[in-house]
Amino acid sequence: MITPQDTAIGQASVIYTRPEEDCLLIRLTGGWTLKDGIPSIDEFSQQITGNGPIRLIRFDGNDITRWDTSLLAFLTRIIGDARQQDMTPDLEGLPEGVRRLLGLAAAVPPQQDTGRVTGHTALLAHIGATTLNYLQGAPEMARFLGEVTLSFGRLLRGKAQFRRADLLLIVQDVGPHALPIVSLISFLVGLIVAYMGAVQLAQFGAQIYIANLVSIGMVREMGALMTGIIMAGRTGASFAAQLGTMQVNEEIDAFRTLGISPMDFLVMPRMLALILVMPLLTLYSDLVGMLAGLFVAHTAFDIGTFEYYHQTVHSLDLRQFAVGISKGTTYGILIAFAGCLRGIQCGRSAQAVGQATTSAVVTSILFIVVAASLLTIIYQQLGI
Amino acid sequence: MTPEQNPQIPPDAHITVRDLSMAYGDFVIQHDLNFTVHRGDIFIIMGGSGCGKSTLLRHLVGLKSPAKGQVYFDGLSFWEAGQEEQETVKRSFGMLFQSGALWSSLTLAENIALPLGEYTELSPAEIGEIVSLKLALVGLAGFEEFYPSEISGGMQKRAGLARAMALDPDILFFDEPSAGLDPVSSRRLDDLILELRESLGATIVVVTHELASIFTIGNNSVFLDPETRTIIASGDPDILRRGCPDPKVRSFLNRGET
């Protein structure tokens, strides 16, 4: 039922009066709801700065028709300001519920000395703190690398504890399940390399060399690189998310308290899986890329299939494959390393898992690009 | 070092904590903790929220190293021991985590079988029998092939307990065992803890602020205070409730009524 009073609820309003020389009376009326916003206290500030000193602040809340947290927020600001300026707020005239809630909010003083620095920090201090934070990452990474190495040692001596079934499951997940996306990307990259090259080569009438360009390009660089990038996004992220969630659920702690090394049990099978799978995926990507080259050469530049095949076989030898596959395997190790590192480092919240996943992908891609450059230079210098 | 050689440690002590300080970075959570857990005790670590109870437990089970001080198990200083010795000590622990912390990619049976497979020479069939027995002890017989995500929170907790008991540990650690359980399940868990102490003779360390549990099961305790950041009372919780000189502890143990 709607009573006349309900329909008469007006906007919140505040009237300031000075019944006595050193006393400010604040009259609150109307409906105070959060959806109408919280009135500003600017006028209050003006009232207390002008017109001589005020020692007492009284309230009259008899005409408040309804109220919620907006009234509390307004009053908290006023009371805070008043106390700061040595004025005494007298809450007597406020509705009883309001007085009780204000009492509750003031009952427990804010915890001091929580070890958290709040407030604004200077730009230089911020840059310094961020840099220190980054530098802290280096020893952590080194420690993880050490643990991985030790774990590998145990694996080689047959002492590492993990379940063979886990390894097979991970191999299935990172290998066969990745074939569709690897096929698509490799085919498209092969296509791009072939077209880009062919347009230039056609100017010299040397279209047949598309075969050389594509086969050398795919086998030595692009096959491994594209597979690496796909696996960083697909598998590196998945490793980080799995291990990160296990960290959140205390599952990794459960391994540790039992004296089972999470390195042996969780990280090793993941590294092994990628070491096993990456060479195969790289090889597969090479083949698909070369097929794309053939497709372009045949359809757009009228080169015969046999001709193309012949040219390809002549341009390649096992060395080229060794270069590509060694790169692919290196990327695999780096992806597994980055994914597991970020997963194990993960904090204990849902947000931390998200950060770990992002960071795993970023770290993997960074590692891959750096490794790709280094390896290319090294192989060139060695004349391989 | 045996207890006889170390004059600081009482002869029947199972776990002894000396001058332990815990910190996250520069932020000290608790400092100068000293207490002794005797063999067969049900020892309660209590205190208000955020005072560092769970952190203390993580120090006791070797998940976090102390900023200062030592933890002794049967006189052996855990943090001064070599890795091999640490692993041996850890093998005598069972721990029930707050959320159960079952390995989510394994079934309940596999969860319990894993430590057995790692540390015993039992055949798969024998392990299977033990797994069923442990699950039956916590009232989960028949749930062997379920994954942790397929059962309720209370059941996960009981399965976690079954896993903690897998290797018949000397010391069982419980992190907030009754959190998230209804009163009846919580009571059943208390009974189970008492039963385990009676039948296995295990030492039990429980982090909790559940008053009913504290008085039902605990026979020794420490009270961590978040303000002074150290232990302000220790002893039998029943006696503390009636006669503790510190009003904060009396108020805690009487639900705020003094």
Alpha-carbon distance of A234 to B153, in angstroms, equals 31
Parallel, antiparallel, or unpaired: how do β-strands B27-38 and B42-47 relate?
unpaired
Is residue B22 over pLDDT 80? yes
- At residue A5, the pLDDT reads 44
φ/ψ (deg, to 5) at B33: -85, 135
- At residue B72, the pLDDT reads 92
Q: Which domains does chain A have, with CATH numbers?
A: 6-107 (3.30.750.24), 159-382 (no CATH)
Distance from A258 to chain B by nearest Cα, in Å? 6
pLDDT tens-digit series, residues B138-164:
888 889 999 999 998 888 988 998 999
Query: Which among A245, A250, A259 is the nearest to B97, CB-wise?
Result: A250
Could you say which residues from 29 to 58 on chain A have a Cβ atom under 8 Å away from some Cβ of chain B?
Answer: none
- At residue B174, the pLDDT reads 92
DSSP state of A22: T
Distance from B101 to chain A by nearest Cα, in Å? 5
- A349 contact B CB<8A: no
Distance from A169 to chain B by nearest Cα, in Å? 11
Q: Which residues of A touch B62 (CB under 8 A)?
A: 256-257
pLDDT, averaged across chain A? 88
Which of the four pLDDT bands, split at 50, 70 and 90, describes residue A7? very low
Distance from B27 to chain A by nearest Cα, in Å? 5
- CB-CB under 8 Å, B99 with A254: no
Alpha-carbon distance of B82 to A150, in angstroms, equals 16
pTM value is 0.77
Strand, helix or coil for residue B48: coil
- At residue A118, the pLDDT reads 59
Least confident range of A104-108, A131-135, A139-143, A144-148: A104-108
| Residue A305 vs residues A111, A183, A266, A311, A316: alpha-carbon distances, Å | 78, 21, 47, 10, 17
Alpha-carbon distance of B171 to B94, in angstroms, equals 6
- At residue B240, the pLDDT reads 87
- CB-CB under 8 Å, B97 with A254: yes
- CB-CB under 8 Å, A161 with B61: no
- At residue A9, the pLDDT reads 57
Alpha-carbon distance of A40 to A20, in angstroms, equals 24
pLDDT tens-digit series, residues A174-206:
999 999 999 999 999 999 999 999 888 888 988
- CB-CB under 8 Å, A115 with B25: yes
Distance from A267 to chain B by nearest Cα, in Å? 15
Alpha-carbon distance of A258 to A328, in angstroms, equals 36
Helix, strand, coil share (%) of chain A residues, nearest 5: 75, 10, 20
Residue of B nearest to A116 (CA): B27
* Cβ pair A245, B99 in contact under 8 A: no
Strand segments, DSSP code E, in A68-189 are: 88-90
- At residue A3, the pLDDT reads 41
When comparing pLDDT for A11 and B55, which is higher? B55
Strand, helix or coil for residue A339: helix
Among residues of chain B, what percentage have pLDDT more than 90? 30
Is residue B11 over pLDDT 80? no
Residue of A nearest to B172 (CA): A257
Q: Which of B89, B93, B114 to mutate to test the interface with A (most CBs of A within 10 A)?
A: B114
- At residue A160, the pLDDT reads 76
pLDDT tens-digit series, residues B164-195:
988 888 899 999 888 778 888 888 888 888 88
Taking phi over 0 as left and psi of -120 to 50 as alpha, with beta for the rest, A230 belongs to alpha
* Cβ pair B73, B18 in contact under 8 A: no
Could you say which residues from 165 to 224 on chain A have a Cβ atom under 8 Å away from some Cβ of chain B?
Answer: 166
Query: Which among B91, B97, B173 is the nearest to A259, CB-wise?
Result: B91
Burial code of B186-225, b = ≥16 C-beta within 10 A, e = fewer?
A: bebbbebbeebbeebebbbbbbbbbeebbebbbbbbbbbb
DSSP state of A109: P
DSSP state of B51: S
Most confident of A157-166, A233-242, A250-259, B90-99: A233-242
- CB-CB under 8 Å, B102 with A259: no
pLDDT tens-digit series, residues A272-283:
999 999 999 999
pLDDT tens-digit series, residues B83-122:
888 888 888 889 999 888 999 989 999 999 998 888 888 8
Domain spans, chain B: 1-92+209-258, 101-152+159-168
- At residue B1, the pLDDT reads 45
- A246 contact B CB<8A: yes
- CB-CB under 8 Å, B118 with A260: yes
Which of the four pLDDT bands, split at 50, 70 and 90, describes residue A313? very high
Is residue A112 over pLDDT 80? no
* Cβ pair B28, B35 in contact under 8 A: no
Which of the four pLDDT bands, split at 50, 70 and 90, describes residue A1? very low
Residues of B engaging A, defined by a Cβ cutoff of 8 Å: 24-27, 58, 61-63, 87, 90-91, 93, 95, 97-99, 101-105, 114-115, 118, 163, 173
State the CATH class of domain B1-92+209-258.
alpha beta
Is residue A8 over pLDDT 70? no
Interface contacts A/B by beta carbons within 8 Å: 52
pLDDT, averaged across chain B? 87
Burial code of A221-245, b = ≥16 C-beta within 10 A, e = fewer?
A: bbbbbbbbbbbbbbbbbbbbbbbbb
- CB-CB under 8 Å, B115 with A258: yes
User: In terms of Cα–Cα distance, which of A201, A380, A379 is closest to A296?
Assistant: A201
- A249 contact B CB<8A: yes
